Structure 1
Amino acid sequence: MRYLTRQFATGALRRGNGIEQFLGGAHIDGELAIRWVAISPGNRQYRVSLHTVQDPDDDQVGDLPNLISLDPVDEAYVGEGRQLGVTEDETEAMTLAERLTDARPDRWVNHAVAGEEYMDYVRSRRGPAQPT
């Protein structure tokens, strides 16, 4: 099972592990893009960040933070994304992320698993008859 229950997601954050959620595709200035939201613990706080990167349309690419950012804020600190907020409560961080990005409460995954969601997304766009 890929998705975390709310209890497991908050537990991961309390233990110092990040969580994230793949949000899907977008068009940024005519270019295909993908987005995901991440919650990263550190210094007794939880940082909520939104990532917007080029969509390479490659179902073998799962390391999303290394893709080319389409957000000028992220260009100086590659992979960190646009900070949406910081809070001291893990549940509040999740609620903030869900409110600001339309993330779903039932779709959180452990850190680095959003890349698997992206690969599934690419495969679903191709359909069963198209080669990978």
Structure 2
Amino acid sequence: MRYLTRQFAIGALRRGNGIEQFLGGAEIDGEPAIRWVAISPMNRQYRISLHTVQDPDDDQVGDLANLISLNLVDEAYVGEGRELGLKEDEEEAISLAEHLMDARPDRWVNHAVAGEEYIDYVRARRDPARSR
């Protein structure tokens, strides 16, 4: 099972592990892009960040944080994403991310697993029968 229940997502954050959710494709200035939202523990708070990167359309690419960011002005470091907010409570951080980005409560995954969602997304795009 890839997706975390709400309690498992909260537990992951409490243990110091990040969670994330693949949001799908977008177009930024005419360029194909993909986006995901992440929640990362940071200094006794939880950082909610949006990542928007170029879509390489490659089902062999699963490490999304290493793709070329389209939010470079918002990132001090590669893969950092654009900060959407900080919360001290795990539940509040998840709720804020869901509210701001229309993230689904049933689609959170552990850190670095959103890449698997991207691979599925690319394969479904190539084979429309898979997305049914």
Q: Once the 2 structures are TM-superposed, how far is the Cα of residue 42 of structure 1 from its aligned partner? A: 1.9
2:43 partner amino acid: N
Moved more, 64-73 or 120-129: 120-129
**Matched residue, 2:80:** 80
> What's 1:71 paired with?
71
Gaps (5+ residues) in structure 1?
none
Q: CA separation of 1:75/1:89 partners in 2, compared to 1, >3 Å: closer, same or farther? A: closer
Structure 2 counterparts to residues 8-19 of structure 1, below 5 A: 8-19=8-19
Aligned residues: 129
Q: Percent identity?
A: 85
Cα distance in 2 for residues equivalent to 1:41 and 1:75: 17
Q: Which SS does the other structure have where 1:97 is aligned? A: helix
Q: Quick one: distance in 1 between partners of 2:2 and 2:94?
A: 17
- Alpha-carbon distance, 1:21 to partner: 0.1
Aligned pairs (5 A) from 1:1-132: 1-127=1-127
What do residues 59-92 of structure 1 show as CA deviations (whole Å, max 9, x unaligned)? 0000000000011334532100000000100000
Task: Identify unmatched segments of 5+ residues in structure 2.
Answer: none
TM-score normalized by the length of structure 1: 0.94
For residues 128 and 93 of structure 1, what CA distance do their matches in structure 2 show?
35
Contact between 2:75 and 2:82, CA under 8 Å: does it hold in 1?
Answer: no
